[in-house]
Each structure stands twice: as structure tokens, then as C-alpha cells.
Amino acid sequence: MAGGDLISKTFRVSEDIHYRRLDRFLRKCLPEYKLSSIYKLIRKSFVKVNGITERDPATELFVGDVVVIAIEADADHMKRLEETRELLPSSIPLSILYEDDHMLAIDKPPGLSVHPGKGIQIVTLIEGLMSYGERKGFRPRLVHRLDKHTSGVLIVAKTPASARHLTEMFRKRSVKKKYLCLVKGIAIADKGRLQGKTAGVQEEMEYSVMKRFADCSLIEVALLTGRKHQIRRQLAQLGFPVVCDNVYGDRDYNQHFRKSRGLRRYFLHCAEVVVEHPVNAEETKISAPIPRDLSSVLERLK
């Protein structure tokens, strides 16, 4: 245990926030923390469940459990907490792809953060969903996320039971997800399968080439696992980074592409998600059309 002063936060597992794994529960309760920071809290023995220190992120939780986190009250931690603001329902336009009494799917626009984070003070998607839920009589529960600049299908649970079912599906990797992305370079193979590991965790996806242009290729990616930045990282490792991705890609190429084709974000779109419905167990396929900013780029490439 570190020697600095500590502040404690206490959370009770309820029907409304029941995530079976400890790390997922903490991520829900501490949205201002990155997942790596949450693992660090667990690893350093700062987390107790029902009075017992737990060091395993996969510790199973049950309704009624009490989770206490001791957080170091140093400058970095306190600054992070101070920068986190309260969630406020705010009315924003939502493009609804699917809705029933148990789940909702929206077409997330690019440039909109799903949840407030460090330095994010503008309205976020979850706040728009909260406003919509207030009008419709439900509380939205996120079961997965998309990065700020990624557009496309985002699934939201409308009941605690649906949230548990859908979260478990994503955890077991039984959700089928397809993405469209434009990558630098001329992909030679029409299709392929990429496998790798990041921090000891298996990553896997399949891809197929949809169209080749002069200096880039449009591909469809089917995610078999779902790690953070997986598509962008694995394609860059293959030698075909996502266009306009300055984290894993080619900055000089991206700068030229941005000026010549007018693309203001990386070219990545979640085009399709297939889930098992949380009540009737039927396969439910939800698709989102390619947004205008990306389709305009493809038209210019022709």
C-alpha cells in the first residue's frame, strides 16, 4: 500500500449496475479512469469486495456485494477526479437504427465521445441517451463502446437484465461485428486472417478487400476479438494503416490525404453488429449506412 493519504469510494452492486466481473464493474463506476488505471488499482490492493482485498480483475460479483476503492489523494489522482464532471441529460439528435422494449441501437456520428473523460466538457452520447431515456421511460446502459472518431452501430441496453445478457455476449466474444476501413497501400490478398497478442491477450480478426484505389484499399474487417484499437493497431502492424490515423499510421501520408481528399478523421465505420436478442434469443442484425464524410472520400477516389 502506498504511503500517501487515501480517499475511499464505496459502491454497492445492484440490479441497475450488475457487471459480473470486478474490472467491468469498476469501469462503470469510475468512467474517468482508463482501464489500465483500474487494473493498477486492483493490482496494488486498493480494492476490497465485502471487506476482502481482491487482486483478480475477473473476480465475480453478485447483487448486494459492496466494493470499496481506496484512491491515493495525490495531485494526479485528485486532478483527474476534479476534471470529471457530473453526467447531465442533454437533448441531442439520435439516429435510431433499432429499438424495442429491451435494447436500442443507434448510428453513432463521428466526433462524438460516448462518455465524459479527461478534458471532455462538451455534451456526450451517454447524456443524449439519458435525455432520450427520460422521455421514453428507461435508463440507458452501455454494453460496449466506440472511439470518439469511429462512426456506426452502437448497442444500448434498456433494462438491467438486457444489460447483463448483452455484456456477457460481448465478454464471450459471441457478438459479430463488421467494420469498413480505408487503409494506406494496395492490399494484395483478397482476404486474410490476422492473429496476434497485446499484453498477453489474444487478438484476432478477418478482412476482405472490397475495392482497390491508386494508393489505398477499402476493406471490410470482421472482429473475432474486441480489444481497444485492435483494428487500427493490427492493420498498421500488417503494413496497411488506417487512413488518417496519426496514432498508428503514416503522418506524412495522412497530411497529404487530408488536404487532397478532405477527410478530417480516420476512416473507420462500424457497419454491422449481430447479437442474440436478450429476450427471444433470435439473431438480430443491425446495420448502419456509411456516413457522408466517408462516402464523399470514396467518390473522390474514383
- Please give the full DSSP string across 47-65, using - where no structure is assigned: EEETTEE---TT-B--TT-
Q: In terms of CATH architecture, what is 176-301?
A: 2-Layer Sandwich (3.30)
Active-site annotation, residues: 147
Of 217 and 14, the one with more pLDDT:
217
Say whether pLDDT at 136 is over 80: yes
Cα(282)–Cα(278) distance, rounded to whole angstroms? 8
Q: What are phi and psi of 297, to 5 degrees?
A: -65, -45
At CA 156, angle to CA 276 and CA 141, rounded to 5? 120
> Which of 5, 234, 278, 281 has the alpha carbon at shortest distance from 143?
278
| Of the candidate ranges 7-16, 157-166, 228-237, 242-251, the one whose mean pLDDT is the lowest | 7-16
**Residue whose entry in the numeric block shows the C-alpha cell 452502437:** 154
pLDDT of residue 44: 82
Cα(299)–Cα(295) distance, rounded to whole angstroms? 6
Q: What are phi and psi of 48, to 5 degrees?
A: -125, 140
| Of the candidate ranges 25-29, 45-49, 127-131, the one whose mean pLDDT is the lowest | 25-29
By three-state DSSP, how is residue 76 classified?
helix
Say whether pLDDT at 298 is over 90: yes
Percent share of the chain, pLDDT over 90 = 51
Alpha-helical runs (H) found in the chain = 22-29, 35-43, 75-83, 125-136, 160-171, 230-238, 251-261, 292-301
> Which option is the CATH number for 6-83: 3.40.640.10, 3.40.30.10, 3.10.290.10, 3.20.20.70?
3.10.290.10
- pLDDT tier at 137, thresholds 50, 70, 90: very high
Average pLDDT over residues 183-194: 90
Q: Say if 6-83 and 96-171 have the same CATH topology.
A: no
> Which of 117, 128, 158, 127 has the alpha carbon at shortest distance from 141?
158
* Identity of the amino acid at 1: M
Q: Give the residue extent of every domain in the chain.
A: 6-83, 96-171, 176-301
Burial class of residue 301 in the structure, from the number of CB atoms within 10 Å of its CB (0-12 exposed, 13-18 middle, 19+ buried): middle
pLDDT of residue 2: 42
Of 57 and 110, the one with more pLDDT:
110
Say whether pLDDT at 101 is over 90: yes
Beta-ladder partners of 205: 194, 223
> Which option is the CATH number for 96-171: 3.40.50.720, 3.40.50.300, 3.30.2350.10, 3.40.50.150?
3.30.2350.10
